[in-house]
Structure 1
C-alpha cells in the first residue's frame, strides 16, 4: 500500500475527493493523486499528493490540471481538493445520479474526469441504495 495513503485516506473520509465514490464498496483502495502533475511543476509533497481519487477519476485526470467548461467553452483549472471546497463547485443529484457543476471549475472537472459517464451514474444509483452516496 502507498504509505501516503495513511494520511490521505482517512483525511478524505475514504471517498474519492472528486466524485465522492465510497471506497468501502470497491475491491481495492482508492489512489493517492498528485493534484498538480510532476510535468506541470507539481512537487512530491503532502500538499500535492493530498487527494484521494477513485481509479476512474485518476485514470481520466491523468496528467491534466485543467479542462474545458462545456457550457462556456472556457478553459479552467481542475478542482483542487486541498484549496477548494467540494460543495462550492459541485452538487450531487439523487434524481439523475450525476455530479452537477456549479462553477466553471466544477463543470470543467466533471467533463475532464468524465464523472457523469453512464457506468458512474449506474454505480451511484447502487451506492445510494446502500446509503453510501452522496
Structure 2
C-alpha cells in the first residue's frame, strides 16, 4: 500500500491545530527528543483518509506504538474497543493525569493507554522529569485535559 503524500501546508495546519502537542499523551513537541509526526487516526488500510479531520499530531512514541491499529481487545471483557480519537473525543473524559501517570477512565482510554504505552517506565520517567521542571503539562495541555 502506497503511503499518502501530505504536503507541508497540511502538516503545518495539523501541528498548529494541536498547538504542537501530541494529541494522545499531550507532550509538547519541543519536550520530546524525537519530535512529532502526523498520524492517520484511522489508518488508510482501515478506510481512513488523509483529510485533516482524520489526521493527528503525535509524538514519535505514540505514533510508533499505535502503528496502523485502530483499537484493541480488553481480554477480561472479550470485547474490541476503538482508540481515543482526538477529533471525536474529549481527552479529559477518557484520561486523567495522576502525578506522572495517565490513568484511563474508560474502556477507550484503557486500550489507548495500554497500546500506546502511556505508562511504560521510560515514558513515566520522561513525564516526571518534565513535571519536575514545570514543563508538563503545558498550559495548552491543561486546556485539553479540561475541555
Alpha-carbon RMSD across the aligned residues, in angstroms, is 1.8
- 1:11 alignment counterpart: 17
What count of residue pairs does the alignment treat as equivalent?
131
Could you list the runs of 5+ residues in structure 1 that have no partner in the other structure? none
Deviation for aligned residue 1:69: 3.3
Q: Tell me the equivalent position of 1:117.
A: 120
TM-score with structure 1 setting the length: 0.89
Q: Deviations over 1:52-92 (max 9, x none)?
A: 11000000000100113366453200000011110010011
Q: Paired residue for 2:47?
A: 41
Matches within 5 A, 1:1-134: 3=8, 4-49=10-55, 51-69=56-74, 72-94=77-99, 97-134=100-137
After the TM superposition, list the runs of 4 or more consecutive aligned residues in structure 1 that deviate by more than 3 angstroms. 69-73
Residue 3 (structure 2) aligns with? none
- Counterpart of 1:47 in 2: which secondary structure? helix
User: What TM-score, normalized to structure 2?
Assistant: 0.82
Could you say if the C-alpha distance between residues 20 and 105 of structure 1 is closer, same or farther in structure 2, counting changes exceeding 3 Å?
A: same
| Larger radius of gyration between Structure 1 and Structure 2 | 2
Distance 1:32 1:2, change over 3 A: farther
- Cα pair distance change 1:71/1:14, threshold 3 Å: farther
More strand per residue: 1 or 2? 2
Note if contact 2:32-2:59 (Cα within 8 Å) is conserved in structure 1.
no
**Higher fraction of helix:** 2
